[in-house]
Amino acid sequence: MSSTSQPKDTTETESLPPHLDPQTYPRTLTTAHGPNQSPIHLELTYTPLSPTTALSTISSPSNGANVLFLGTTRDTFEDRPVAQLSYTSYPALALKSLNRIATDAVGEFGLGAVYIAHRLGVVPVGEASIIVAVGAGHRGETWRGAEKVLEVVKERVEIWKREEFVDGGMEWRENRERDSSGRKKGEAT
């Protein structure tokens, strides 16, 4: 008696590499840094981001100022209607880079806490793709610290963005291509 094998459903048997498989997320790193052991929480996730979680993570009796930044998907890019964004990352390297950025900010600005979360996969219009939240004793260091963290994240972290347009077109972009006002770096103001 000979045995015959049935063709396998490749969608069921082929698996995604772990860094692309949403089932292996969230990926988090929580550490403490500096003389006051300021908590740092970093996260890469495929699920919607929570501003409430970010604020509760950085809040403490010694942080009199807390700043929260949400970067959300806009409905247009250069007058072209956007359907959604899609993000991908190499998580081990991205978390290492995020940790360096956060620890540097704690040291430079005396921050009492840092929270950075970035969404991966599809991020629909109106939903947050990044949260940066920082806490410190006073507003000056929190404003400057949060802005610095965000700008360095966009310049250095191993996260790539694909803009998907309503007309079906798609374009990969690096966050480092644009300044904080959305202008292509090197363009006149």
**CA 150: distance to chain centroid?**
9
Q: Is there a binding annotation on residue 154?
A: yes
DSSP alpha helix (H) spans, the chain: 10-13, 51-58, 91-109, 139-156
Q: Is there a binding annotation on residue 138?
A: yes
User: 135 - beta bridge partners?
Assistant: 66, 113
- Measured CA to CA, the distance from residue 41 to residue 98 in angstroms comes to 10
Q: Please say whether the beta carbons of 33 and 103 come within 8 A.
A: yes
Cis bond before residue 17 (omega within 30° of 0):
no
Q: Is there a binding annotation on residue 144?
A: no
**Rounded to 5, what percent of the chain is helix, strand, coil?**
30, 35, 35
- Measured CA to CA, the distance from residue 184 to residue 169 in angstroms comes to 20
Q: Is there a binding annotation on residue 127?
A: no
Q: Is there a binding annotation on residue 173?
A: no
- Measured CA to CA, the distance from residue 8 to residue 170 in angstroms comes to 32
Residues at the annotated binding site?
A: 138-139, 154, 161-163
User: Which residues are part of a known binding site for substrate?
Assistant: 138-139, 154, 161-163
